[in-house]
Amino acid sequence: MELTSTDTGSELLADIGLLEVERARIEARIAEQMLSYADHVRCDARRHDDPVVRDLEAGAAADSLGQVLRQPTRTVQVRLSQARRVRSMLPQVWLAHRTGRIDAFRVRLIAEAAHRLHDADSPLLLDREVVDIAATRTTAQLKAWLRRFVARTEPDRSAEREHGEAEQRRVHVEHGPDGWSWLSAFVPSTSAHRIDRLLSRLAERRADGDPHLSLEQARSDVLADLVLGHITIDDEPTGRSHAGAVIAVTVPVTSLTGLTDDPGTTFDGAIALPAELVRELAAEPGTLFHRLITDPAGRILDVAELGRFPSDRLRLGVQARDGTCAFSTCSRPADLCDLDHEIPHPRGPTSGANLRPLCRRHHRLKSHGLLPHPAPPSRLEHRLAQYAVEFVAA
């Protein structure tokens, strides 16, 4: 029987998935060999009686590995440390890496999160919960989940973690070619959240008036103009106006009243905020602070309305429920998305159950019948299961 173009496309996607699994397995094998080599050098160095010489020789393993990997010694040292941490503290993550479910970059993100945990039971909880998340989400989604996990698992350590991070704050300029440069800054998450929203809203206005200007280009232009004072906001000089700053946070009522210290999270799930900071923001003048107060289970009730367009209250509820664009690999915040009727109106109701946020790109793809649906992953899942059986049997 002759294969159709659809069959060919499905085969290609399946092959790509299998190659990704093989890549992750190879990365895991490299990590294992790196650890074995470092352990071999450390063991061999014990022949020296002088501890200084012994430590120098053991440490030289990273230099030798760096030559083979063509990476700086410090990078190799970090890779060794993270691999050793995952192998010893997170056995389920390590197994998922060896079987190809999780690649090296995701393992590194998990290792960094584990390093921020202090309580003895926390890594065990992380190991139990993170594998399925890491294996099915994008790296951006995984990063956001890890931030929330650390915040909710050890809320009593938030001040300690915040102090440590604050000492790392800085602004970095990296000059590029042809008169352009990269500007990056490490700032408090609440400030970054406000800056991001402000840039997006001002950039959308500017891009709407110029068909040759993309949204990302407009964000760059607006940032430069804001910092240099070339534009005003609400007739106020740059830096003196709140510019309609909105902090949208889901927070347990027990935290808001000070009974517990469970963290709040922004609607898109990208930022976990310590309970004390949430309480401070709630009292801060000049900030529109949406507080979606939940019960301990975090439940949000469905609401249905007449008409095609949802009210502000229903829109806010849907945005809070989903956080980001409903497409599985998209992390665009829900408050910057369109609200889409899954079952088109008027056949489908204007209700929380029938509404979902879709970014403009995915909304257009859906409108034209081009929104991809997850392909049946039978070959990939079968191969992953086979790898897992092989390793468990070994």
Q: Per residue in 2-24, pLDDT tens? A: 556 667 888 888 899 999 999 99
Q: Please determine, for residue 307, whether its predicted confidence score (pLDDT) is greater than 60.
A: no
* CA geometry: angle 72, 78, 80, nearest 5 deg: 105
Query: What local confidence, expressed as pLDDT, does residue 139 receive?
Result: 93
For the chain, what percent of residues have pLDDT higher than 70? 75
Q: Please determine, for residue 329, whether its predicted confidence score (pLDDT) is greater than 70.
A: yes
The position carrying tokens 């938030």 is: 158
Query: What local confidence, expressed as pLDDT, does residue 6 receive?
Result: 61
Work out the mean pLDDT of the chain and round it to a whole number. Answer: 80
- How far apart are the C-alpha atoms of 307 and 323, rounded to whole Å? 24
Does residue 340 contact residue 358 with C-beta atoms inside 8 Å? yes
**pLDDT tier at 375 (50, 70, 90 boundaries)?**
very low
Query: What local confidence, expressed as pLDDT, does residue 10 receive?
Result: 83
Per-residue pLDDT tens for 85-133?
999 999 999 999 999 999 999 999 999 999 999 999 999 999 999 999 9
Per-residue pLDDT tens for 343-363?
887 788 877 778 889 988 888
